[in-house]
Amino acid sequence: MEESNEVATKLPVTVILPVLNGRSELPAHLDAMERWLADAAQVIVVDGASQDGSLEYVEQRLVHKAAEFHVRDRGLYEAWNFAVRRAEAEFVYFATVGDRIEPGGVNALLEVARTTGAEVVLSPPSMVEGSGEVREESWPIHQLMSGRESDGPFVLSSLEKFVLANTFGIQGLLGSSASNLYRTETLRAHPFPEDAGHAGDTAWGCRHALHVSVAVLPRAVATFVESRPDGRLTDNEYARRGVDFARLTQESVEQFAAASDVSRKEIAVLRLLAAGWCRAREWMAGQVETFAPLLAGHRQHQVYIAELEKECVKRLAAIDELDAEVKRLRGELANAGKTWRLWGR
């Protein structure tokens, strides 16, 4: 009887924890999850063949959580899709390493999913740098919040989903999945694209936003940590991705045209806008090769300036030390002079 009560209180959520060489971040990440992870119906850890002991550490920490562990080294979103296929709970939450959700955050997202019937629930994350410094909250989901009068949960219209998915660069509709909740069956029917590098969730928004119902919890229940500089896209990668998303935008315009809750006028306007976005992204891709040497030179100059600044700081510190030593020696010399005068008497 006690066992059935325990099962009944479990959150109907499969927590998917993707891991790849994140050993240094895992202690704080798992500490933050400790207070609510035991309430989840299922925990699936997918390791991307880590070489730093990440998997072994997670296995040790989650030994009492009945978690299952898998190694998949074929890409980020292949790992996500693999875990979704194994998920048994009604909902899925992605606990990306470094990003955190507050203890009541998953419950809050669940409540919105239940009351609205939405297949995806978004929330605007708090934004911080890797150093812990708070960042400006400027993602599409944050901009959407700024113009609304009500602070209660709401369901996005087709027009809102289209604009969020196609006009805001790599953040797109979903933003951070560590701030969201997904219905498992929805992700099985519409898996994440595995051919879009680290922007599979953005590509997912372009391809599937109009196929699924999306609700928003306006308040922040999670924190997104800006990725390290060595994990960011190069200029050429960013430009190529812009062209890829231009094609997805053109496809989603036709999906939008087939939606039942939009007018011909809205469709015409969106087609014009989409054409402009596509031309702009393709132009950017064409210019990257031209400007790449200039950009590289500019970055080298920035590095050189930064090194000069560091050297200046070191030399100023050395000057301060020398100044203090001179003052000390002057003091000793003055004291020695006083002593000499006393002896002379």
What is the reported pLDDT for 222? 94
Q: Can you tell me which residue has the tokens 């009560």?
A: 5
What is the separation of C-alpha 319 from the centre of its chain, rounded to a whole number of angstroms?
44
Residue 107 tokens read as 């419950």
pLDDT at 144 over 50: yes
183 by DSSP, 3-state: which? strand
Residue 63 has pLDDT above 90, yes or no: no
Q: Which range, of 16-30, 72-86, 281-295, averages the lowest pLDDT?
A: 281-295
> Counting beta carbons within 10 angstroms of the beta carbon of residue 240, is it exposed (0 to 12), middle (13 to 18) or buried (19 or more)?
middle
Angle at 49 between CA 80 and CA 62, to 5 degrees: 70
pLDDT tens digit sequence for 153-209 = 999 988 888 888 876 655 778 988 999 999 999 999 999 988 877 778 888 988 888
User: What pLDDT score does 230 carry?
Assistant: 43
CA atoms within 13 Å, Cβ hemisphere of 166: 31
Proportion of the chain above pLDDT 90, given as a percent: 35
CB 221 within 8 A of CB 102: yes
Q: What phi and psi, each to the nearest 5 degrees, are found at residue 102? A: -70, 160
pLDDT at 216 over 90: yes
Q: Could you tell me if 228 and 130 are in contact, meaning their C-beta atoms sit under 8 angstroms apart? A: yes
Please compute the mean of the pLDDT values over residues 39-50 and round it to a whole number. Answer: 93
- State the residue for tokens 């880590």: 50
Q: What is the pLDDT of the chain when averaged over all its residues? A: 81
Q: How confident is the model at residue 90 (pLDDT cuts 50, 70, 90)?
A: very high
Domain 2-232, CATH class in plain words: alpha beta
Q: Which amino acid is at 326?
A: V
The residue written with tokens 């015409």 in the block is 268
**pLDDT confidence band for 7 (50 / 70 / 90):** very low
Least confident interval from 8-12, 50-54, 106-110: 8-12
Contact indicator for 88, 41 with CB cutoff of 8 Å = yes
Rounded distance, CA 262 to CA 266, Å?
6
Cα 14 from Cα 31, distance rounded (Å): 18
136 token code pair: 């400006």
- Identity of the amino acid at 323: D
Domain residue ranges of the chain, discontinuous segments joined by +: 2-232
Measuring CA to CA, which residue among 56, 245, 68 is closest to residue 165?
245
Chain-centroid distance of CA 1 in Å reads 42
**334 CB neighbour count, 10 Å cutoff:** 10
What backbone torsions phi and psi does residue 116 show, to the nearest 5 degrees? -100, -20
Q: Region 255-267: what's the mean pLDDT? A: 70
CA distances 100 to 68, 105, 106, 269, Å, are 21, 10, 11, 39
Tokens of 51: 């070489």
- Report the C-alpha gap between 123 and 174 in whole angstroms: 9
Q: Tell me the average pLDDT across 93-121.
A: 95
Residue 203 in contact with residue 248, Cβ under 8 Å? yes
CA dist 87 to 216, 227, 279, Å?
A: 23, 27, 40
Identify the residue with better confidence: 252 or 92. 92
Tokens 């928003």 label which residue? 216
Amino acid letter, 273: L
